[in-house]
Amino acid sequence: MSSRLVVETREIDPVEDLLAYADPANPLAWLRRGEGIVAVDCGIVATIRVPAGTDRLRSAAIASAWRDLAQDAEVTDPLGLPGTGLVAFGALTFDEDSAADSVLIVPSLVIGRHRGRAWLTRIRRTDDRTDADTARPATAETQAYGPHWAGTVGPGDQSPQGYQDSVRRALERIATGELSKVVLARDLTGSIPAGSDLRRLVRALSTGYPDTWAFAVDGLIGASPETLVTVQERTVTARVLAGTIGRGADADADTAASAQLASSTKDLDEHQYAVQSVLASLRPHTRALAASEQPFLLKLPNLFHLATDVEGELADGGSSLDLVGALHPTAAVAGTPTPAAIAAIRELEPFDRGRYAGPVGWVDAAGNGEWAIALRCAQFTTAGEGAELAVTAYAGAGIVAGSDPESELLETRVKFRPLVDALA
């Protein structure tokens, strides 16, 4: 008989700081307004890793592998809350041709909180050699945060001047009708000290930007304002963000900036491309799909976004991972039409995005899950024990007819700020 997963969730007393339970060197976390799920530093039960060169879409391969793993799991979950029961943390690449891996990670112990209720989930395999005591949910223990640290980042493969040149080349393609929109990113690279407690970065992003999804999965850490898709009890929701302007220095400037964004033809057009992209992708999988007629202004600490919420009902036996595969990449992070935009990104960006602008989130055994687009983020890698950690951060902007290269560069600087400030 093959090994199966055995999962037990039990309610515990309220927990104030979920991150205190995470692995300092490699945290697994999904947080918003102080709630969410965190892997306790107790090990990994299973990892589904899909590398480049897979003979089918990585999202489809991930979804199929997860279905196979979850279908035979023995789950005891009396709470039935988002994030209870069997869960995996995931991060997928932006581009199917990326050299980076797409991954789902199942930790052995998960602690979570939702609307004031807290829980602990123990996950093990049936062939684990455990006695009756250790087979029951363990008691999670916190770890003191390590000392403060600071990282340094500077221009990466795409310099500020190179970025403006790429925007000009994109505008030429838009003028010929090859594209309606393309999202171009640039990178910053640097390092942080060996042994840095990465939970400090997650905590800084989570507390500084509480309305975003703060995440840490396999070295990818960030705070995304953009929900890709959420599925809970067959209700599907998504939030589309496209169109951006920096916040003003005072109340009057703030009001002027929000009014400028709300009336900008360029930004409204860019936003509409993104909304229609999401609706077209979700329709085959949903019933009663609806979106607000006009976008609203989403106010973040450093900028405004045009935003539209979408809601529907899951129509088939699919999961949140299936919807991730249907939705990604959206026009908000790739462009329109998608195939031409992806081709332009490959030619105009002198780096592999990896998991930047790809789906990041979690999924449970029933297919429920919360997935965001990995924005305002950086990938951390290490060359070995005792070595500095390399960091690559990314930020992009949507290019449409009428875009100004210098303005788009300034937009990327605004988007870099949350991560750069937290690293410092």
pLDDT band at 130 (very low <50, low <70, confident <90, very high): low
Mean pLDDT for the stretch of residues 249-271: 91
- Work out the average pLDDT over 328-346: 93
Q: What rounded mean pLDDT belongs to the chain? A: 92
- CA trace torsion 116, 372, 195, 24 (10° rounding): 20
Q: Which residues contact 154 (CB under 8 A, 6 or more apart)?
A: 188, 189, 190
pLDDT of 136: 47
Share of the chain above pLDDT 90, in %: 76
Tell me the pairing of strands 74-76 and 5-12.
Answer: parallel
Q: pLDDT digits over 36-94, tens only?
A: 999 998 899 999 999 876 656 888 899 999 999 999 999 999 999 999 999 999 999 99
Instruction: Taking residues 229-254, report their average pLDDT.
Output: 90
Q: Provide the pLDDT for residue 365.
A: 95
pLDDT at 79: 97
- Contact by Cβ (8 Å): 123, 106: yes
Q: Report pLDDT for 58.
A: 85
Residues 9-36, mean pLDDT to the nearest whole number? 96
Residues 6 or more apart whose CB falls under 8 angstroms from that of 30 comprise 36, 37, 38, 83, 89, 213, 214, 215, 361, 362, 370
Residue range 377-382: mean pLDDT, rounded: 94
Share of the chain above pLDDT 70, in %: 96
Residue 138 in this model has a pLDDT that exceeds 70: no
What one-letter code names the amino acid at 220? L
Predicted local distance difference test score (pLDDT) of residue 187: 98
DSSP H/E element including 6: strand 5-12
Query: Which H or E run contains 231?
Result: strand 227-232
Contact between 395 and 378 under an 8 Å Cβ cutoff? The reply is no
pLDDT of 133 higher than 50: no
Query: Higher-confidence residue: 201 or 301?
Result: 201
Q: Give the mean pLDDT of 165-188.
A: 97
The answer, yes or no, to whether residue 134 has pLDDT greater than 80, is no
Compute the radius of gyration of the chain from its Cα atoms. 21
Q: Does 135 score more than 60 pLDDT?
A: no
Give me the residues paired with residue 392 across strands: 189, 379
- CA torsion sign for 157, 381, 143, 386 is negative
The answer on pLDDT for 131 being more than 70 is: no
pLDDT of amino acid 243: 85
298/148 Cα distance (integer angstroms):
32
Average of per-residue pLDDT across 370-397: 92
pLDDT of residue 242: 83
Per-residue pLDDT, 2: 64
Residues 288-319, buried b or exposed e (16+ Cβ, 10 A)?
ebebeeebeebebeebbbbbbebbbebbeebb
| Residues with active-site annotation | 181, 226
